[in-house]
Amino acid sequence: MLETAELGHTIGKRAFDRAEPKLREALVNAQYDLMEGKRKAVIVLLSGVASGGRGETAKQLSEWMDPRHLRVQAFGERSPEEAAHPLPWRYWRALPPRGRVSIFMNAWYAEALQARVSGRLDDAALDATLHAIREYERMLAHENVLLLKFWIHLSKSAQKRRLAELDRDKARTWRVTDGDWNRARHYARHHDLWEHTLRETSIGEAPWCVVEGVDERYRDLTVGSILLDGLNRVNTPPTPAQRKLERAQRPAAVSPAVIDNVKLIRDLDLGQRIDDKRYERELERLQGRLAQLTRRKRFGKHSLVLVFEGTDAAGKGGAIRRVVGALDPRLYEIVPVASPTDEELSHPYLWRFWRHVPGLGGITVFDRSWYGRVLVERVEGYCGEADWLRAYGEINAFEKDLVDAGTVVCKFWLQISNSEQLARFRAREKISFKRFKITEDDWRNRKRWPDYERAVADMVERTSTEIAPWTLVEAEDKRFARIKVLRTIVRQLEHGMDR
Amino acid sequence: MLETAELGHTIGKRAFDRAEPKLREALVNAQYDLMEGKRKAVIVLLSGVASGGRGETAKQLSEWMDPRHLRVQAFGERSPEEAAHPLPWRYWRALPPRGRVSIFMNAWYAEALQARVSGRLDDAALDATLHAIREYERMLAHENVLLLKFWIHLSKSAQKRRLAELDRDKARTWRVTDGDWNRARHYARHHDLWEHTLRETSIGEAPWCVVEGVDERYRDLTVGSILLDGLNRVNTPPTPAQRKLERAQRPAAVSPAVIDNVKLIRDLDLGQRIDDKRYERELERLQGRLAQLTRRKRFGKHSLVLVFEGTDAAGKGGAIRRVVGALDPRLYEIVPVASPTDEELSHPYLWRFWRHVPGLGGITVFDRSWYGRVLVERVEGYCGEADWLRAYGEINAFEKDLVDAGTVVCKFWLQISNSEQLARFRAREKISFKRFKITEDDWRNRKRWPDYERAVADMVERTSTEIAPWTLVEAEDKRFARIKVLRTIVRQLEHGMDR
């Protein structure tokens, strides 16, 4: 892919001077249309060889466009806060909202290449990383982020000339470092790695544009024109014919399970109970153990994410209270998942959960979670079928990011029987604790019980992974459920901290 | 204030067992009413002597209330990211939105007391800090945050007993550290400091409640009851009579300036121009100088905040472009201030600007700013008179926080004449750059020219401080304005980095 960018493309000054004002006006107008239409967010990812002119291109774009509505994001050495979070955290934080353009300098590519060059990743691990990058970029495309990736390239000799030139230029020498010269020396060795990386990550949703960096007029005009084209495509609403085609290209509405996987839920032995005395004894023992584990020094190299889902009135709140009752209240955050704010709505779906991902030594309890997409949003039709179908994979990738960073992820589905739910609803109508107020929605959801059962079964089947398994909790007896939850957390934590 | 909390208050077990279930139900219901009404945010600040039981009280409150909607915030040693930002930054970040309760452990008090004890602050500096705290808490009260401050107290002998007790309790010894014993040894010396601090910061809007910590039943019931009372007051809409009284108590609608301060604006010599050749020369020189200054190592101990305000079409955008043209695009963020998001609206006014305050080595350019409150919000009546009247002081305090952290703050007001504005509006209607689109609002604002003049004059008079002065920029000639802006930034930066 790189050869064509080693040919010495140039654009003459006169041709440039003719093209520039038009491009500039069109770019700013497209930028303003984007802000108004808010159809997508746009990321211009600039990567490439050292001294290819990424920085200059970023600067030129912010001069051409309205810099007030353009953000240039550099991702250098990780700050201590970034280092204490899963790898993708800092990229999630930097995502522009719909209607905005951000330039990402190098971003995840520099990090992956650097890790390979330094030997921290071997070939297989690099490929796994590139695979994760592909999935991440696909997710962005589906979630209304247009990602334009540019590899600014120089041939070996062109790079050498450029470095020497910059070194001579007194006003500019601050930009050439020993590191640059060092990297240049290894050009040949890196060439294959670049080729491989570009090939592996050039996907339909976000192909690479390799742009030769020798001639800055050619470089900047090319990047600018491709960006303009991208903006215009985003700003133009699809015609009915395009919409139809798009729908046709989406994953077919495959009925996720042919076999009757609902059995999984129906076969739960809801008759399991625990007597008072054993409950008190076990509760104290397990809370004590959980308190110990989270106070250990070693917990500072881990974190804990707890996910609570379940049928309405299954006792999620009560279970959460028994868990956090064991914890130092300064260490945990409970996130009750309700309607998203407008800032959350203008970002990809998982953004609002990434905001609460704990740093090392931290604990986040999600009271309902990202699984809303494949539960309530699926059942109620709040999102399209294609959206919840792809959510399973995105969620698995998200949880892998957490686990890779040392997070222990425990996911609980609390199940009660239909009749027990009715009894609890009735009882709640009579008590004065506002926490337990029964709403119209609760009664409505009850009617969709079979749909939810189906959705839960698919969810468990598709997202119960070895690294982040689901625990199905028989919650007909609240005390039994609480003990099972606590015991599972203790076990997973012991196991996770042993690794 | 502390003597009454050294008397040995206790509550018997039976009295406690009678009171607790009622208090608990009332607390949870009040918490749910708060979430529904979203009238205010509530902060429970727990401070006091070591081992007084702050942590236990926080735990008890999260057990009594619904912990899913309660956040306990500890503020220990500053993280590197916190240390790179102005002191109040971490408290701003932790502020709960309206409808939520947060428990703040120690927060700004522990930090102030610690600094005095360690000698980093002398008596005068402590008093200045306490003054700033008073102003901050008053601002919170005005901005729909109910702050309930508790000082959990123990007499000297009670503290000693408590420490010995905890030390003996095997299951709990992790909580008694050498630091605790050390602090206890200096009890007498600290007693006066506590008294002084409590007295100086017990204000009408947020009085201290000193609660004796010896008996945990007494301690927790007292804190819980006061919190319940606070929640109930927040949740009850004021009666018409109360509303009237409240209005009467607000600062009188003092016409801010009796003398004709508008002269300040009208007397600007808008005839000042600069010729092409000098403009190009100066622009290059000043941009080069600015680039140098921000690249210096020493800039890493500072940051730069630029505020651009001005009449419509005065050329703010063009000036900003010339400034950032000198900067590494990875170092700055431009914040165009538009309508607040719903998350921003549920926090105190300045919250949405604190979000963008740069860390050390960073640059933030505000295209319009917090001065909106005393400009457009005042003129258009978007906020009450009392609100914009108190904003001057709050803004001065905010900018002092920035400057204290090493930030150089440059504020520009760009002024053009009424006729020049008309000419620019007309010209803009003819060009196709969407950036310069003239809206209905722009024409409407023009009609309120005298009101804006008045508001600007008051703003400059009240917020041009020695540490963060306003620069009035004669912008009739755009090039003259840009040079003046750049020259001012360079000067203020040179001066600020010399300190």
Question: Model confidence over A56-68: pLDDT tens digits?
Answer: 999 999 999 999 9
Evaluate if residue B405 carries a pLDDT over 70: yes
pLDDT at A6: 79
Q: How far apart are CA B456 and CA B270, in angstroms?
A: 16
Q: What residues pair up with A208 in beta bridges, in sequence order?
A: A149
> CB contact, 8 Å: A103 with chain B?
yes
Find the range with the poorest average confidence among A238-252, A268-282, B196-210.
A238-252
Higher-confidence residue of B387 and A483: namely A483
Instruction: Tell me the average pLDDT across A302-310.
Output: 98
Chain B contact probe: residue of A44, A345, A434, A439 with most B CBs at under 10 A: A434
- Residues of chain A with Cβ-Cβ distance to B72 below 8 Å are 329-330
> CB contact, 8 Å: A29 with chain B?
yes
Reported as half-sphere exposure (CB side, CA atoms, 13 A), residue B425 has a value of 18
pLDDT at B435: 78
H/E segment holding residue A289: helix A276-295
Evaluate if residue B350 carries a pLDDT over 60: yes
Measured between CB atoms, which of A71, A80, A343 is closest to B79?
A: A80
pLDDT at B175: 59
Is there a contact between A391 and A349 (Cβ–Cβ < 8 Å)? yes
- Match 């953004």 to its residue by tokens: A351
Q: How far apart are CA A493 and CA A298, in angstroms?
A: 11
Find the range with the poorest average confidence among A166-175, A386-395, B484-493.
A166-175
User: Which parts of A327-420 are beta strand (E)?
Assistant: 332-336, 363-367, 407-415
pLDDT at A173: 46
> CB contact, 8 Å: A246 with chain B?
no
B498 pLDDT band (50/70/90 cuts)?
A: confident
Evaluate if residue B345 carries a pLDDT over 60: yes
DSSP classification of residue B78: P
B399 pLDDT band (50/70/90 cuts)?
A: very high
> CB contact, 8 Å: A345 with chain B?
no
Evaluate if residue B373 carries a pLDDT over 80: yes
Nearest chain B Cα distance for residue A261, angstroms: 32
Higher-confidence residue of B384 and A250: namely B384
Chain A contact probe: residue of B177, B334, B345, B436 with most A CBs at under 10 A: B334
DSSP classification of residue B67: G
Nearest chain B Cα distance for residue A337, angstroms: 10
Measured between CB atoms, which of B69, B103, B367 is closest to A68?
A: B367
A207 pLDDT band (50/70/90 cuts)?
A: very high
DSSP classification of residue A91: H
> CB contact, 8 Å: B266 with chain A?
no
Chain B contact probe: residue of A66, A175, A306 with most B CBs at under 10 A: A66
> CB contact, 8 Å: B433 with chain A?
yes
* CB spacing of A341 vs B341 below 8 angstroms: yes
Q: How far apart are CA A97 and CA A395, in angstroms?
A: 21
Q: How far apart are CA B282 and CA B286, in angstroms?
A: 6
In 3-state terms, what secondary structure has residue A203? strand
* CB spacing of A329 vs B59 below 8 angstroms: yes
What is the C-alpha R_g of chain B?
Answer: 27
Measured between CB atoms, which of B55, B71, B81 is closest to A333?
A: B71
- Residues of chain A with Cβ-Cβ distance to B55 below 8 Å are 328-330
Evaluate if residue B255 carries a pLDDT over 60: no
Q: How far apart are CA B420 and CA A334, in angstroms?
A: 56
> CB contact, 8 Å: B328 with chain A?
yes
- Residues of chain A with Cβ-Cβ distance to B365 below 8 Å are 68
Higher-confidence residue of B5 and B410: namely B410
pLDDT at B3: 79
Instruction: Tell me the average pLDDT across A399-415.
Output: 97
Helices B449-463 & B385-404 angle (0-180, nearest 10): 40
pLDDT at A251: 56
Instruction: Tell me the average pLDDT across B417-423.
Output: 96
Question: Model confidence over B72-122: pLDDT tens digits?
Answer: 999 988 999 999 999 999 999 999 999 999 999 999 999 999 999 999 999
Evaluate if residue B172 carries a pLDDT over 70: no
A185 pLDDT band (50/70/90 cuts)?
A: confident
Nearest chain B Cα distance for residue A361, angstroms: 14
Tell me how crowded residue B254 is: count the other CB atoms within 10 A of its CB.
9
* CB spacing of B341 vs A342 below 8 angstroms: yes
Nearest chain A Cα distance for residue B208, angstroms: 22
- Match 């914040």 to its residue by tokens: B335
- Residues of chain A with Cβ-Cβ distance to B63 below 8 Å are 321, 325
H/E segment holding residue A461: helix A449-463
> CB contact, 8 Å: A469 with chain B?
no
- Residues of chain A with Cβ-Cβ distance to B71 below 8 Å are 333-334
pLDDT at A481: 98
**Distance in angstroms between the alpha carbons of the first and the last residue of chain A:** 41
Question: Model confidence over A72-86: pLDDT tens digits?
Answer: 999 988 999 999 999
Measured between CB atoms, which of A29, A62, A320 is closest to B68?
A: A320
Chain Cα centroid distance, residue B481: 31
**B340: CB partners within 8 A, 6+ apart:** B352
B418 pLDDT band (50/70/90 cuts)?
A: very high
Query: Which residue is closest to B368 within chain A, CA to CA?
Result: A68
Query: Which residue is closest to B34 within chain A, CA to CA?
Result: A434
pLDDT at B116: 94
Tell me how crowded residue B198 is: count the other CB atoms within 10 A of its CB.
20
- Residues of chain A with Cβ-Cβ distance to B340 below 8 Å are none
Evaluate if residue B174 carries a pLDDT over 60: no
Measured between CB atoms, which of A336, A343, A365 is closest to B343?
A: A343
Nearest chain B Cα distance for residue A173, angstroms: 12
The DSSP result for A1-63, as a single string, is: --GGGGS-----HHHHHHHHHHHHHHHHHHHHHHHHH---EEEEEEEESTTSSHHHHHHHHHH
B176 pLDDT band (50/70/90 cuts)?
A: low
What is the C-alpha R_g of chain A?
Answer: 27
- Residues of B numbered 306-325 whose beta carbons fall under 8 angstroms of chain A's beta carbons: which are they? 317, 320-321, 324-325
Nearest chain A Cα distance for residue B124, angstroms: 33
DSSP classification of residue B203: B
- Residues of B numbered 273-302 whose beta carbons fall under 8 angstroms of chain A's beta carbons: which are they? 288, 295
Higher-confidence residue of A171 and A146: namely A146
Evaluate if residue A44 carries a pLDDT over 90: yes
Question: Model confidence over B424-448: pLDDT tens digits?
Answer: 999 998 887 777 888 888 999 999 9
Q: What residues pair up with B367 in beta bridges, in sequence order?
A: B308, B336
Evaluate if residue B456 carries a pLDDT over 70: yes
Nearest chain B Cα distance for residue A107, angstroms: 12
pLDDT at A262: 82
Evaluate if residue B167 carries a pLDDT over 80: no
Average pLDDT value over all residues in chain B = 91
Beta-carbon pairs below 8 A across chains A and B: 115
What is the sign of the dihedral through the CA atoms of A273, A275, A280 and A282?
A: negative
Q: How big, in percent rounded to 5, are the helix, strand and coil portions of chain B? A: 60, 15, 30
* CB spacing of A333 vs B29 below 8 angstroms: no
B173 pLDDT band (50/70/90 cuts)?
A: very low
- Residues of B numbered 186-225 whose beta carbons fall under 8 angstroms of chain A's beta carbons: which are they? none
- Residues of chain B with Cβ-Cβ distance to A325 below 8 Å are 63
Is there a contact between B90 and B104 (Cβ–Cβ < 8 Å)? no
Higher-confidence residue of A247 and A95: namely A95
Evaluate if residue A194 carries a pLDDT over 70: yes
* CB spacing of A330 vs B72 below 8 angstroms: yes
Find the range with the poorest average confidence among A170-174, A415-419, B27-31.
A170-174
- Match 């600290």 to its residue by tokens: B190
Instruction: Tell me the average pLDDT across B11-39.
Output: 95
Query: Which residue is closest to B317 within chain A, CA to CA?
Result: A68
Nearest chain B Cα distance for residue A185, angstroms: 27
Nearest chain A Cα distance for residue B7, angstroms: 29
Evaluate if residue A4 carries a pLDDT over 80: no
B261 pLDDT band (50/70/90 cuts)?
A: confident
